[in-house]
Structure 1
Amino acid sequence: MPIDALPADLADESADGDEELSDDEGEFDEADDDLAVNETPSARSPELYASSLRNACVAARIADDLRGQNIVVLDLTRVTSIVDFFVIATANSQRQMHAIADEVNRKLKREDGNKRISVEGYRTQGNWLLTDYGDVVLHVFTQEGRATYALEQLWADAGRIDWQNWQPTDTATPADDPS
């Protein structure tokens, strides 16, 4: 996709592929001030975990609808405090990578008001496109990129979510996950 044809919601990215944040987007809300170091929001609130899980499963389903392959949702709440879920998918082309990332962004923004924090790899011809939503990070790879970075092996201690059978009424918490 030519740079001048980028969707309007990605037009504010810098030339190196990193999205520029406005002054308030990178700041923590006062409501987050009570989080302890290394405490995930989901650890203190089942509602936040459920919301993050929902967003991860929605992202996985969108990737599936757009013919993404080998889609995996990793629950990272027991192994890191940085993010709750990774959604990992393989695409057959740059265009498909962009389509998946764009549609996930539209859906999460429209339905949940979930703002994208940053984007990496959108303006490059690379083999990895990353979209960070804070609690959920979407990774869309080419086949070569997925093999190179091997995130599933890197995060092997993470639980796997059965996103295909997940229902919006599911109220699982990290403690409910036996993996």
Structure 2
Amino acid sequence: MRNVIFDLGNVLIEWDPALAFADVFTTRDAAEAWLDEIGFHDWNRAQDGGRSFAEGIAAARAQHGDRARWLEGYLAAFPVTIENTVPGSWEILEDLAAQGVPLYALTNWSAESWPAARELHPRLALFRDVLVSGQERLLKPDAAIYRRLLDRNGLAAESCIFVDDSLANVAGARAVGIDAIHFTGAEALREALRQRGF
């Protein structure tokens, strides 16, 4: 039986970092402009790669001075950024689980914010294993992170299908021999899986 590996953020769990700063900015546009100003997505990716939040805040303050101060509340506010789920995706996961399909997850996610995901989304227990980039100090789309998941679960690349909303991550999976589906919505994913015999 083939194994299905899911990305989490924006495939199963919606992630909206601007929500963490709703008490600082009066509008979403203002929050998003500030996130762009401080290079939030690159900053956050470093935490996903294993950097601690304390180190990240120090780095942001060194680069942006007092404009970075609001990052200090991000970890505490993080749960509000992941409260919502992607419509229809969990139902697909539950259908696969009911069919006995072995399920795994591979996510770019900070080690320090990961416990919040576990608490808010108990259906993550459907996965046999979740490989969290921040814990491994590896990041998609580097080949090493896909191989880490395969090796620690005794999986052959050709026995797996990977689902991710990032084209770069899809390409990374294919580069190590894993069939991959670019996630654009639950309906399209269900059809792509059906075409693969599920």
Q: Same fold (TM over 0.5)?
A: no
Higher helix share: 2
Q: Give TM-score scaled by structure 2 length.
A: 0.27
> Which is higher, the Rg of structure 1 or of structure 2?
2
Q: Which one has more relative contact order, counting CA pairs under 8 Å at least 6 apart?
A: 2
Which protein is richer in strand relative to its size? 1
TM, length-normalised to structure 1: 0.29
